[in-house]
Protein backbone atom coordinates (compact mmCIF):
# COMPACT_ATOMS: atom_id res chain seq x y z
CA UNK A 1 0.00 0.00 0.00
CA UNK A 2 0.99 3.63 -0.29
CA UNK A 3 1.21 3.99 3.49
CA UNK A 4 3.59 1.06 3.66
CA UNK A 5 5.71 2.71 1.02
CA UNK A 6 5.84 5.87 3.08
CA UNK A 7 6.74 4.15 6.33
CA UNK A 8 7.89 0.56 6.60
CA UNK A 9 6.19 -2.78 6.82
CA UNK A 10 7.02 -6.43 7.01
CA UNK A 11 3.44 -7.59 6.63
CA UNK A 12 0.83 -6.27 4.25
CA UNK A 13 -2.28 -7.40 6.05
CA UNK A 14 -2.31 -4.56 8.59
CA UNK A 15 -1.12 -1.85 6.24
CA UNK A 16 -3.28 1.18 5.75
CA UNK A 17 -3.18 3.75 3.01
CA UNK A 18 -1.02 6.71 4.03
CA UNK A 19 -2.18 6.34 7.61
CA UNK A 20 -5.59 7.91 6.97
CA UNK A 21 -7.42 4.89 8.38
CA UNK A 22 -5.48 4.96 11.64
CA UNK A 23 -6.45 6.99 14.66
CA UNK A 24 -9.83 7.44 16.33
CA UNK A 25 -11.37 10.01 13.98
CA UNK A 26 -13.44 8.50 11.13
CA UNK A 27 -13.51 9.24 7.40
CA UNK A 28 -9.81 9.88 6.85
CA UNK A 29 -9.71 8.64 3.27
CA UNK A 30 -12.19 10.94 1.52
CA UNK A 31 -14.98 12.48 3.58
CA UNK A 32 -12.83 13.77 6.43
CA UNK A 33 -10.25 15.55 4.25
CA UNK A 34 -12.97 17.12 2.09
CA UNK A 35 -14.82 18.43 5.14
CA UNK A 36 -11.64 19.81 6.71
CA UNK A 37 -10.66 21.54 3.47
CA UNK A 38 -14.10 23.13 3.21
CA UNK A 39 -14.76 23.96 6.85
CA UNK A 40 -11.46 24.95 8.49
CA UNK A 41 -10.66 28.12 6.46
CA UNK A 42 -14.17 29.41 7.23
CA UNK A 43 -13.89 28.41 10.88
CA UNK A 44 -10.55 30.21 11.27
CA UNK A 45 -12.18 33.48 10.21
CA UNK A 46 -15.27 32.91 12.38
CA UNK A 47 -13.01 32.10 15.34
CA UNK A 48 -11.17 35.41 14.92
CA UNK A 49 -14.47 37.25 14.36
CA UNK A 50 -15.97 35.77 17.53
CA UNK A 51 -12.92 36.78 19.53
CA UNK A 52 -12.58 40.25 18.02
CA UNK A 53 -16.17 41.37 17.46
CA UNK A 54 -18.46 39.18 19.60
CA UNK A 55 -16.67 39.32 22.95
CA UNK A 56 -15.62 35.69 22.53
CA UNK A 57 -19.21 34.43 22.71
CA UNK A 58 -19.98 31.30 20.66
CA UNK A 59 -23.64 31.72 21.67
CA UNK A 60 -23.75 35.11 19.97
CA UNK A 61 -22.01 33.63 16.93
CA UNK A 62 -24.59 30.85 16.67
CA UNK A 63 -27.43 33.35 17.03
CA UNK A 64 -25.97 35.62 14.34
CA UNK A 65 -25.51 32.70 11.95
CA UNK A 66 -29.12 31.64 12.52
CA UNK A 67 -30.43 35.16 11.92
CA UNK A 68 -28.30 35.52 8.79
CA UNK A 69 -29.77 32.36 7.29
CA UNK A 70 -26.70 30.15 7.44
CA UNK A 71 -22.95 29.90 7.87
CA UNK A 72 -22.07 30.75 4.27
CA UNK A 73 -24.02 34.00 4.21
CA UNK A 74 -22.75 35.11 7.60
CA UNK A 75 -19.13 34.16 6.97
CA UNK A 76 -19.18 36.08 3.69
CA UNK A 77 -20.52 39.17 5.47
CA UNK A 78 -17.75 39.21 8.10
CA UNK A 79 -14.83 37.92 6.02
CA UNK A 80 -12.08 40.57 5.82
CA UNK A 81 -10.77 41.43 2.38
CA UNK A 82 -7.72 39.34 1.46
CA UNK A 83 -6.45 42.04 -0.89
CA UNK A 84 -5.53 44.83 1.55
CA UNK A 85 -1.86 45.73 1.08
CA UNK A 86 -0.74 46.26 4.69
CA UNK A 87 -1.49 42.71 5.92
CA UNK A 88 0.33 41.31 2.90
CA UNK A 89 3.27 43.61 3.58
CA UNK A 90 3.54 42.34 7.18
CA UNK A 91 3.19 38.69 6.16
CA UNK A 92 5.64 38.81 3.27
CA UNK A 93 8.19 40.80 5.29
CA UNK A 94 7.93 38.24 8.11
CA UNK A 95 8.31 35.37 5.65
CA UNK A 96 11.31 36.94 3.93
CA UNK A 97 13.01 37.59 7.28
CA UNK A 98 12.52 34.02 8.50
CA UNK A 99 13.62 32.53 5.16
CA UNK A 100 16.75 34.67 5.25
CA UNK A 101 17.54 33.53 8.80
CA UNK A 102 17.17 29.89 7.77
CA UNK A 103 19.88 30.36 5.14
CA UNK A 104 22.20 32.93 6.70
CA UNK A 105 22.37 32.02 10.40
CA UNK A 106 25.08 29.42 11.06
CA UNK A 107 24.31 26.19 12.85
CA UNK A 108 25.50 22.63 13.21
CA UNK A 109 24.63 20.16 10.44
CA UNK A 110 21.91 17.76 11.54
CA UNK A 111 20.79 14.52 9.94
CA UNK A 112 17.31 13.24 10.77
CA UNK A 113 16.20 9.62 10.79
CA UNK A 114 16.57 7.70 7.54
CA UNK A 115 13.30 7.49 5.60
CA UNK A 116 11.57 4.37 4.31
CA UNK A 117 13.06 5.07 0.87
CA UNK A 118 16.55 5.31 2.31
CA UNK A 119 16.84 9.11 2.22
CA UNK A 120 18.48 11.04 5.06
CA UNK A 121 16.99 14.56 5.55
CA UNK A 122 19.70 17.12 6.30
CA UNK A 123 19.22 20.42 8.11
CA UNK A 124 21.10 23.33 9.62
CA UNK A 125 20.30 23.29 13.34
CA UNK A 126 19.98 27.05 13.92
CA UNK A 127 16.52 27.21 15.51
CA UNK A 128 17.54 28.81 18.81
CA UNK A 129 19.60 31.47 17.06
CA UNK A 130 16.76 32.31 14.67
CA UNK A 131 14.29 32.40 17.57
CA UNK A 132 16.39 34.87 19.57
CA UNK A 133 17.00 37.04 16.50
CA UNK A 134 13.26 37.09 15.75
CA UNK A 135 12.42 38.24 19.29
CA UNK A 136 15.12 40.91 19.10
CA UNK A 137 13.88 42.04 15.70
CA UNK A 138 10.33 42.50 17.01
CA UNK A 139 11.64 44.42 20.03
CA UNK A 140 13.81 46.57 17.77
CA UNK A 141 10.96 47.38 15.40
CA UNK A 142 8.77 48.38 18.34
CA UNK A 143 11.44 50.42 20.11
CA UNK A 144 12.36 52.40 16.99
CA UNK A 145 8.75 53.04 16.00
CA UNK A 146 9.17 51.34 12.63
CA UNK A 147 6.35 48.96 13.50
CA UNK A 148 3.86 48.88 16.37
CA UNK A 149 3.55 45.27 17.60
CA UNK A 150 -0.02 45.95 18.78
CA UNK A 151 -1.05 46.33 15.14
CA UNK A 152 -0.91 42.55 14.79
CA UNK A 153 -3.92 42.36 17.11
CA UNK A 154 -5.86 44.87 15.00
CA UNK A 155 -4.87 43.27 11.69
CA UNK A 156 -5.10 39.60 12.61
CA UNK A 157 -8.40 39.11 10.76
CA UNK A 158 -7.15 40.56 7.45
CA UNK A 159 -3.86 38.68 7.93
CA UNK A 160 -5.70 35.38 8.37
CA UNK A 161 -7.75 36.16 5.28
CA UNK A 162 -4.56 36.80 3.28
CA UNK A 163 -2.89 33.72 4.69
CA UNK A 164 -5.85 31.57 3.69
CA UNK A 165 -5.39 32.69 0.09
CA UNK A 166 -1.63 32.16 0.22
CA UNK A 167 -1.75 28.80 2.02
CA UNK A 168 -4.40 27.24 -0.23
CA UNK A 169 -2.46 28.29 -3.33
CA UNK A 170 0.80 27.11 -1.76
CA UNK A 171 -0.65 23.68 -0.96
CA UNK A 172 -1.91 23.34 -4.54
CA UNK A 173 1.56 24.21 -5.82
CA UNK A 174 3.15 21.64 -3.48
CA UNK A 175 0.79 18.95 -4.73
CA UNK A 176 1.63 19.69 -8.38
CA UNK A 177 5.35 19.87 -7.57
CA UNK A 178 5.15 16.39 -6.08
CA UNK A 179 3.62 15.13 -9.32
CA UNK A 180 6.17 16.62 -11.71
CA UNK A 181 9.34 17.52 -9.75
CA UNK A 182 9.58 15.74 -6.37
CA UNK A 183 12.57 16.57 -4.20
CA UNK A 184 13.16 12.94 -3.23
CA UNK A 185 11.88 9.43 -3.75
CA UNK A 186 9.69 9.84 -0.63
CA UNK A 187 6.83 11.02 -2.81
CA UNK A 188 3.91 9.81 -4.89
CA UNK A 189 0.18 10.02 -5.44
CA UNK A 190 -2.61 8.18 -3.63
CA UNK A 191 -4.73 8.25 -6.78
CA UNK A 192 -7.13 10.74 -5.21
CA UNK A 193 -6.80 14.42 -6.10
CA UNK A 194 -8.60 15.42 -2.90
CA UNK A 195 -6.39 13.32 -0.65
CA UNK A 196 -3.22 14.33 -2.49
CA UNK A 197 -4.10 17.97 -1.80
CA UNK A 198 -5.00 17.25 1.81
CA UNK A 199 -2.13 14.93 2.72
CA UNK A 200 0.50 16.06 0.23
CA UNK A 201 2.53 14.28 -2.41
CA UNK A 202 5.99 14.70 -0.86
CA UNK A 203 7.42 13.88 2.55
CA UNK A 204 10.36 16.28 2.37
CA UNK A 205 9.78 18.91 -0.35
CA UNK A 206 12.43 21.55 -0.84
CA UNK A 207 12.20 24.72 -2.92
CA UNK A 208 15.40 26.50 -3.94
CA UNK A 209 17.16 24.73 -1.07
CA UNK A 210 14.63 25.69 1.61
CA UNK A 211 12.97 22.83 3.46
CA UNK A 212 9.23 23.46 3.21
CA UNK A 213 8.11 21.82 6.45
CA UNK A 214 10.87 23.38 8.51
CA UNK A 215 9.67 26.75 7.22
CA UNK A 216 5.90 26.27 7.58
CA UNK A 217 5.97 24.32 10.85
CA UNK A 218 8.91 25.84 12.71
CA UNK A 219 9.93 29.19 11.29
CA UNK A 220 6.49 30.53 10.35
CA UNK A 221 3.99 28.76 12.61
CA UNK A 222 5.91 28.18 15.83
CA UNK A 223 7.78 31.46 15.54
CA UNK A 224 4.46 33.29 15.14
CA UNK A 225 3.23 31.53 18.27
CA UNK A 226 5.99 33.28 20.24
CA UNK A 227 5.71 36.68 18.56
CA UNK A 228 1.92 37.07 18.42
CA UNK A 229 1.19 36.92 22.19
CA UNK A 230 3.91 39.56 22.70
CA UNK A 231 2.11 41.73 20.15
CA UNK A 232 -1.19 41.14 21.94
CA UNK A 233 0.34 42.12 25.29
CA UNK A 234 1.62 45.32 23.65
CA UNK A 235 -1.91 46.02 22.43
CA UNK A 236 -3.32 45.60 25.93
CA UNK A 237 -0.65 47.93 27.27
CA UNK A 238 -1.62 50.52 24.64
CA UNK A 239 -5.30 50.22 25.59
CA UNK A 240 -5.24 50.12 29.40
CA UNK A 241 -1.71 51.16 30.33
CA UNK A 242 -0.58 47.85 31.80
CA UNK A 243 -0.37 44.13 31.05
CA UNK A 244 -2.77 42.15 33.24
CA UNK A 245 -1.40 39.36 35.40
CA UNK A 246 -3.59 36.84 33.55
CA UNK A 247 -2.11 37.76 30.16
CA UNK A 248 1.39 37.96 31.66
CA UNK A 249 1.13 34.40 33.04
CA UNK A 250 -0.26 33.10 29.75
CA UNK A 251 2.41 34.89 27.73
CA UNK A 252 5.22 33.74 30.02
CA UNK A 253 4.19 30.09 29.80
CA UNK A 254 3.78 30.18 26.03
CA UNK A 255 7.23 31.72 25.66
CA UNK A 256 8.70 29.01 27.88
CA UNK A 257 6.97 26.38 25.74
CA UNK A 258 8.11 27.84 22.41
CA UNK A 259 11.64 28.36 23.77
CA UNK A 260 11.63 24.67 24.71
CA UNK A 261 10.47 23.84 21.20
CA UNK A 262 13.33 25.65 19.48
CA UNK A 263 15.84 24.27 22.00
CA UNK A 264 14.58 20.82 21.01
CA UNK A 265 13.91 21.56 17.34
CA UNK A 266 16.18 18.78 16.10
CA UNK A 267 14.06 16.34 18.09
CA UNK A 268 10.92 17.73 16.45
CA UNK A 269 12.52 17.10 13.06
CA UNK A 270 12.42 13.40 13.98
CA UNK A 271 8.79 13.52 15.12
CA UNK A 272 5.61 12.26 13.48
CA UNK A 273 4.78 15.71 12.04
CA UNK A 274 7.97 15.69 10.01
CA UNK A 275 8.79 12.02 9.46
CA UNK A 276 5.37 10.67 8.54
CA UNK A 277 2.94 13.50 7.71
CA UNK A 278 3.46 14.78 4.19
CA UNK A 279 3.58 18.43 3.18
CA UNK A 280 0.01 19.14 2.17
CA UNK A 281 -3.05 20.98 3.43
CA UNK A 282 -3.07 19.03 6.71
CA UNK A 283 0.38 20.22 7.78
CA UNK A 284 1.13 23.34 5.72
CA UNK A 285 -2.24 25.10 5.78
CA UNK A 286 -2.47 24.10 9.42
CA UNK A 287 0.81 25.78 10.33
CA UNK A 288 0.24 28.84 8.15
CA UNK A 289 -3.37 29.60 9.21
CA UNK A 290 -4.77 27.29 11.89
CA UNK A 291 -1.81 27.62 14.25
CA UNK A 292 -1.66 31.46 14.17
CA UNK A 293 -5.42 31.66 14.72
CA UNK A 294 -6.21 28.87 17.19
CA UNK A 295 -3.00 28.45 19.16
CA UNK A 296 -2.88 32.13 20.11
CA UNK A 297 -6.65 32.54 20.61
CA UNK A 298 -6.53 32.55 24.42
CA UNK A 299 -3.98 35.40 24.45
CA UNK A 300 -6.01 37.28 21.86
CA UNK A 301 -9.10 36.96 24.06
CA UNK A 302 -7.26 38.18 27.17
CA UNK A 303 -6.39 41.52 25.53
CA UNK A 304 -9.95 42.77 26.08
CA UNK A 305 -10.55 40.73 29.25
CA UNK A 306 -7.84 41.71 31.76
CA UNK A 307 -7.99 39.80 35.03
CA UNK A 308 -5.96 40.27 38.20
CA UNK A 309 -4.93 36.86 39.50
CA UNK A 310 -3.08 38.01 42.58
CA UNK A 311 0.54 37.00 43.23
CA UNK A 312 -0.26 33.68 44.95
CA UNK A 313 -2.56 32.30 42.27
CA UNK A 314 -0.34 33.60 39.46
CA UNK A 315 2.67 31.86 41.01
CA UNK A 316 0.74 28.56 41.36
CA UNK A 317 -0.40 28.61 37.73
CA UNK A 318 3.11 29.50 36.57
CA UNK A 319 4.62 26.67 38.60
CA UNK A 320 2.07 24.16 37.32
CA UNK A 321 2.63 25.28 33.73
CA UNK A 322 6.42 25.26 33.94
CA UNK A 323 6.40 21.78 35.48
CA UNK A 324 4.14 20.52 32.68
CA UNK A 325 6.41 21.99 30.01
CA UNK A 326 9.47 20.52 31.74
CA UNK A 327 7.85 17.07 31.94
CA UNK A 328 7.00 17.20 28.24
CA UNK A 329 10.55 18.26 27.41
CA UNK A 330 12.10 15.66 29.70
CA UNK A 331 10.12 12.88 28.05
CA UNK A 332 11.37 13.95 24.63
CA UNK A 333 14.91 14.30 26.04
CA UNK A 334 14.82 10.80 27.48
CA UNK A 335 13.84 9.30 24.14
CA UNK A 336 16.40 11.32 22.19
CA UNK A 337 19.23 10.40 24.59
CA UNK A 338 18.10 6.77 24.57
CA UNK A 339 18.34 6.59 20.79
CA UNK A 340 21.66 8.41 20.70
CA UNK A 341 23.16 5.87 23.15
CA UNK A 342 21.59 2.80 21.50
CA UNK A 343 19.61 2.04 24.62
CA UNK A 344 22.61 2.07 26.97
CA UNK A 345 21.32 4.69 29.39
CA UNK A 346 20.30 5.11 33.01
CA UNK A 347 16.83 6.61 33.49
CA UNK A 348 15.45 7.50 36.91
CA UNK A 349 18.35 5.65 38.54
CA UNK A 350 17.86 2.38 36.68
CA UNK A 351 19.19 0.91 33.42
CA UNK A 352 16.78 1.71 30.61
CA UNK A 353 14.38 -1.04 29.61
CA UNK A 354 13.70 -1.48 25.93
CA UNK A 355 12.32 -3.76 23.26
CA UNK A 356 14.74 -4.31 20.41
CA UNK A 357 12.82 -4.40 17.17
CA UNK A 358 13.67 -5.07 13.55
CA UNK A 359 11.72 -3.89 10.52
CA UNK A 360 11.99 -3.96 6.76
CA UNK A 361 12.05 -0.78 4.66
CA UNK A 362 10.13 -0.46 1.41
CA UNK A 363 13.38 -1.14 -0.44
CA UNK A 364 13.86 -4.45 1.37
CA UNK A 365 16.60 -3.38 3.80
CA UNK A 366 16.39 -4.74 7.34
CA UNK A 367 16.94 -2.18 10.10
CA UNK A 368 16.74 -2.23 13.87
CA UNK A 369 15.33 0.12 16.48
CA UNK A 370 15.06 0.33 20.28
CA UNK A 371 11.63 0.99 21.80
CA UNK A 372 12.01 2.74 25.16
CA UNK A 373 9.96 1.31 28.05
CA UNK A 374 11.46 3.25 30.98
CA UNK A 375 10.99 6.64 32.58
CA UNK A 376 8.08 8.63 31.21
CA UNK A 377 7.82 6.08 28.40
CA UNK A 378 7.27 3.31 30.92
CA UNK A 379 4.14 5.04 32.26
CA UNK A 380 2.34 5.03 28.92
CA UNK A 381 3.33 4.81 25.25
CA UNK A 382 2.36 8.44 24.66
CA UNK A 383 2.41 9.87 28.19
CA UNK A 384 4.28 12.96 26.92
CA UNK A 385 0.95 14.19 25.52
CA UNK A 386 -0.46 14.54 29.05
CA UNK A 387 1.90 17.34 30.19
CA UNK A 388 1.47 19.01 26.81
CA UNK A 389 -2.28 19.22 27.41
CA UNK A 390 -1.88 20.35 31.03
CA UNK A 391 0.58 23.04 29.91
CA UNK A 392 -1.98 24.38 27.44
CA UNK A 393 -4.55 24.35 30.23
CA UNK A 394 -2.18 26.40 32.41
CA UNK A 395 -1.80 29.21 29.88
CA UNK A 396 -5.56 29.21 29.21
CA UNK A 397 -6.88 28.93 32.77
CA UNK A 398 -6.14 32.53 33.92
CA UNK A 399 -9.52 33.69 32.52
CA UNK A 400 -11.40 30.93 34.37
CA UNK A 401 -15.10 30.64 33.40
CA UNK A 402 -15.06 31.90 29.80
CA UNK A 403 -15.19 29.20 27.09
CA UNK A 404 -13.26 30.85 24.25
CA UNK A 405 -9.75 30.48 25.77
CA UNK A 406 -10.33 26.76 26.33
CA UNK A 407 -11.05 25.97 22.70
CA UNK A 408 -7.37 25.28 22.08
CA UNK A 409 -7.18 22.88 25.06
CA UNK A 410 -10.22 20.96 23.80
CA UNK A 411 -8.87 20.87 20.24
CA UNK A 412 -5.40 19.77 21.42
CA UNK A 413 -6.84 16.98 23.54
CA UNK A 414 -8.73 15.59 20.54
CA UNK A 415 -5.74 16.03 18.23
CA UNK A 416 -3.25 14.28 20.51
CA UNK A 417 -5.61 11.45 21.40
CA UNK A 418 -6.13 10.81 17.71
CA UNK A 419 -2.40 11.10 17.08
CA UNK A 420 -1.67 8.52 19.78
CA UNK A 421 -3.96 6.05 18.03
CA UNK A 422 -2.45 6.91 14.63
CA UNK A 423 1.08 6.44 15.90
CA UNK A 424 0.14 3.12 17.49
CA UNK A 425 -1.39 1.91 14.20
CA UNK A 426 1.68 3.05 12.25
CA UNK A 427 4.08 1.36 14.68
CA UNK A 428 2.07 -1.86 14.64
CA UNK A 429 2.43 -1.95 10.85
CA UNK A 430 6.11 -1.05 11.07
CA UNK A 431 7.26 -3.31 13.91
CA UNK A 432 4.68 -6.13 13.88
CA UNK A 433 5.28 -8.64 16.70
CA UNK A 434 7.87 -6.38 18.32
CA UNK A 435 5.22 -3.69 18.82
CA UNK A 436 2.94 -6.27 20.43
CA UNK A 437 5.78 -7.15 22.81
CA UNK A 438 6.27 -3.45 23.57
CA UNK A 439 2.56 -3.02 24.29
CA UNK A 440 2.77 -5.87 26.80
CA UNK A 441 5.52 -3.99 28.66
CA UNK A 442 3.72 -0.63 28.40
CA UNK A 443 -0.02 -1.42 28.18
CA UNK A 444 -1.42 2.13 28.43
CA UNK A 445 -1.56 4.49 25.46
CA UNK A 446 -1.73 7.90 27.16
CA UNK A 447 -2.91 7.85 30.82
CA UNK A 448 -1.49 5.03 32.97
CA UNK A 449 -4.16 2.51 33.90
CA UNK A 450 -6.96 4.53 32.28
CA UNK A 451 -6.43 5.11 28.56
pLDDT at 19 (0 to 100)? 41
pLDDT at 400 (0 to 100)? 64
Q: What mean pLDDT is reported for the chain?
A: 90
pLDDT grade for 5, boundaries at 50, 70 and 90: very low
Task: Compare 171 and 115 and report the one with higher pLDDT.
Answer: 171
pLDDT tens-digit series, residues 235-267: 999 999 999 999 999 999 999 999 999 999 998
Q: Among residues of the chain, what percentage have pLDDT more than 70?
A: 93
pLDDT grade for 109, boundaries at 50, 70 and 90: very high
pLDDT grade for 280, boundaries at 50, 70 and 90: very high
pLDDT at 144 (0 to 100)? 97
pLDDT tens-digit series, residues 41-50: 999 999 999 9
pLDDT grade for 18, boundaries at 50, 70 and 90: very low
Three-state SS sequence of the chain: CHHHHHCCCCCCCCCCCCCCCCCCCCCCCCHHHHHHHHHHHHHHHHHHHHHHHCCCCHHHHHHHHHHHCCHHHHHHHHCCCCCCHHHHHHHHHHHHHHHHHHHHCCCEEEECCCCCCCCCCEEEECHHHHHHHHHHHHHHHHHHCCCCCCHHHHHHHHHHHHHHHHHHHHHHHHHHHHHHCCCCCCECCCCCHHHHHHHCCECCCEECCEEHHHHHHHHHHHHHHHHHHHHHHHHHHHHHCCCCHHHHHHHHHHHHHHHHHHHCHHHHCCCHHHHCCCCCHHHHHHHHHHHHHHHCHHHHHHHCCCCCCCHHHHHHHHHHHHHHHHHHHHHHHHHHHHHHCCCCCEECCEECCEEEEEEECCCCCEEEEEEECCCHHHHCCCCCHHHHHHHHHHCCHHHCCCCHHHHHHHHHHHHHHHHHHHHHHHHHHHHCHHHHHHHHHCCCCCCCCCC
pLDDT at 30 (0 to 100)? 66
Task: Compare 274 and 293 and report the one with higher pLDDT.
Answer: 293
Choose the weakest-confidence range: 3-12, 27-36, 52-61, 371-380. Answer: 3-12
pLDDT tens-digit series, residues 148-206: 999 999 999 999 999 999 999 999 999 999 999 999 999 999 999 999 999 999 999 99
| pTM score, whole prediction | 0.89
pLDDT tens-digit series, residues 343-365: 888 999 999 999 999 888 777 77
pLDDT grade for 24, boundaries at 50, 70 and 90: low
pLDDT at 50 (0 to 100)? 97
pLDDT higher than threshold 80 for residue 369: yes
Amino acid sequence: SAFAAMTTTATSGDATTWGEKGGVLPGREKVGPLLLIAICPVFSILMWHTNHDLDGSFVTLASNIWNAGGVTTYAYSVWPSPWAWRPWKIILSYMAFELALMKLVPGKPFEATVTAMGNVPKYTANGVQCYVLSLLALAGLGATGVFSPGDVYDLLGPMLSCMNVFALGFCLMLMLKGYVAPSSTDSGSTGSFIFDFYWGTELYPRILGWDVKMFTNCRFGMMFWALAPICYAHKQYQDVGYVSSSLFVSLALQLVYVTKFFWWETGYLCSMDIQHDRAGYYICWGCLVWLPCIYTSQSYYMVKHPLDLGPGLAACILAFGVFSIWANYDADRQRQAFRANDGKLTIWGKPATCVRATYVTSEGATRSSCLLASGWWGLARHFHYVPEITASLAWSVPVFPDLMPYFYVIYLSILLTDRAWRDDDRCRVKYGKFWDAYCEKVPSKIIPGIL
